[in-house]
Amino acid sequence: MKLYNTLTRRVEEFSPINPKRVKVYTCGPTVYSFAHIGNFTCYIYWDLLVRTLRLNGWSVDRVLNITDVGHLASDADDGEDKMEKGAKRDGKTVWEVAEMYMNDYLNNFRALNMVEPTDICRATDYIKEDIALVNELDKKGFLYDTTDGLYFDTSKFPTYADFARLDLEHLKAGARVEFSSEKRNPSDFAVWKWIRDGEDHAMQWEYRGRMGYPGWHLECSTIIHEKLGEPIDIHCGGIDHIPVHHTNEIAQTEGAFGKKMSNFWLHNNFITIEGQKISKSLGNVYMFNDLAEKGYSHMDYKMWVLQGHFQSERNFSFEDIAAAKQRLLNYRNFAALRWQKDATDMNDIRDVIKTQLDNNLNSAGAFAELDKSISKNVPDDAFVKFLDDAFGLMIEETTPDIPNELKQKISDRIQAKKDKDYVKADALRDEIEAKGITLLDGADGVIWQYAK
């Protein structure tokens, strides 16, 4: 299987370190507000990744973190803490806020029928391990203390600029005078923040006799070290993570442990909505509830996402999701034919679909192949199961069952058409349609669906 690797900026053949198991880490949500549909695109793509790895016969050890501490409003180390901001807004404690939005996130994650991660790790459960990592970095001479926190001196990590192809000289020249004039280089970042006098910060832990909390990037390095061990096979996140978050994760992990962090890095692009950036001021921050109000389910949205590619910028529109919904309905109707006795041999089409997915997760190509096939074939149970394993669209579960009496009539009508007995076929069509089922006669055969 081939994947585009941000590390090398190339599509490369993937094979795991352990021939049987693949270690995958995906940077998870910061749980300070409801996640919008854009936030979920990446998890849908990474679900496709996990499923494609499994189709290749590998088991997947997949870890997802939940950021419930330390993420400041800007990706640099200033601005308001996102969790504190959420707590003030909601009139709740940071712990209540974390609990509430984490549960909402996980409910949506599960409603999207994602393969359950092997481990879901909350950042605040790893403070002791964070501190051990900070100590390790300190011992190796990467850190310096400031009034704001312990900072990583990026000039001591010579390959710092490589991952994101950063131009550090340019960064230096353009750096604004920051709150922390104690920073030695503009790219230096906090691994541990001190609580400053008068600062109101609910989450805090004692370290070196002072109260503080971990910098945002620390948890991913820590959790990977604890749960998977370096190097891992694949690390995933949004493209916005390349220049800061992932660059800093690499500096911490490779600085502390002297091992490569991950062999492959996958980054998803962003979606816009009706041509606009997702933003509160534009009123286009859609949640799944908003989609449901317009008649679109989690699976419809997943179908829409999977019609595109993780590396492409995509534009969401209600017109497009309507088309995705219809396409998914076509697949359900196709699956609904599986009770018919004369199932076709679907091995070839199964191979063609898998080949598309193995080609850098080309689900759009896979669906194009499936579309070509559905009007010509009758699937068996195994093929429907394969589709559900590959895409997780719950086709089998959501395919309406039809009464046996109607199944018989549909079979009889197919036979009547084969026998060129059009009078009988038309009479059967009327009977079937009277029961709320539409028959669609394509050039290559017949599919049917419940009338919408």
Please report, as ranges, the residues that interact with ligand AMP according to CB under 6 A. 30, 38-39, 41-42, 238, 240, 270-271, 278
The contacts of residue 364 (CB under 8 Å, 6+ apart) are 306, 307, 308, 309
The contacts of residue 258 (CB under 8 Å, 6+ apart) are none
From Zn ion, ligand AMP, none, which one binds at residue 270 (CB under 5 to 8 Å depending on kind)?
A: ligand AMP
In whole angstroms, how close is the CB of 360 to ligand AMP at the nearest point? 18
- When the beta carbons of 144 and 270 are compared against ligand AMP, the nearer one is 270
From ligand AMP, Zn ion, none, which one binds at residue 38 (CB under 5 to 8 Å depending on kind)?
A: ligand AMP
Angle (deg, nearest 10), helices 218-227 and 127-139: 100
In whole angstroms, how close is the CB of 384 to ligand AMP at the nearest point? 30
- When the beta carbons of 27 and 64 are compared against Zn ion, the nearer one is 27
Binding to Zn ion (CB under 5 A) within 24-63 occurs at 27
- When the beta carbons of 26 and 113 are compared against ligand AMP, the nearer one is 26
Residue with tokens 């050039």: 443
In whole angstroms, how close is the CB of 238 to ligand AMP at the nearest point? 2
- When the beta carbons of 254 and 300 are compared against Zn ion, the nearer one is 254
In whole angstroms, how close is the CB of 26 to Zn ion at the nearest point? 8
In whole angstroms, how close is the CB of 278 to ligand AMP at the nearest point? 4
Listed residue (216, 191, 63, 65) closest to 133, CA to CA: 191
- When the beta carbons of 45 and 391 are compared against ligand AMP, the nearer one is 45
Whether 125 contacts 166, CB under 8 Å = no
What string marks each residue from 162 to 201 as x (binds Zn ion by CB under 5 A) or -?
A: ----------------------------------------
Rounded-to-integer distance, Cα 60 and Cα 15, Å: 12
Residue nearest to ligand AMP (CB): 238
CA angle 47, 48, 49 (to 5 degrees): 90
Q: Which two tokens stand for residue 105?
A: 């996130």
In whole angstroms, how close is the CB of 133 to ligand AMP at the nearest point? 22
> Partners of 81 in the beta sheet?
72
Count other C-beta atoms under 10 Å from residue 323's C-beta. 14
Total of chain residues touching Zn ion, rule CB under 5 A:
2
From Zn ion, ligand AMP, none, which one binds at residue 186 (CB under 5 to 8 Å depending on kind)?
A: none
- When the beta carbons of 49 and 387 are compared against ligand AMP, the nearer one is 49
From Zn ion, ligand AMP, none, which one binds at residue 220 (CB under 5 to 8 Å depending on kind)?
A: Zn ion
In whole angstroms, how close is the CB of 25 to Zn ion at the nearest point? 8
Rounded-to-integer distance, Cα 315 and Cα 310, Å: 13
What string marks each residue from 206 to 225 as x (binds Zn ion by CB under 5 A) or -?
A: --------------x-----
In whole angstroms, how close is the CB of 40 to ligand AMP at the nearest point? 8
Peptide linkage before 29 cis (omega within 30 of 0): no
- When the beta carbons of 203 and 346 are compared against ligand AMP, the nearer one is 203
In whole angstroms, how close is the CB of 7 to Zn ion at the nearest point? 15
From Zn ion, ligand AMP, none, which one binds at residue 394 (CB under 5 to 8 Å depending on kind)?
A: none
**Which of these ranges, 19-27, 207-215, 250-258, 430-438, lies near Zn ion under the rule CB under 5 A?**
19-27
Residue numbers at the binding site for Zn ion (CB under 5 A): 27, 220
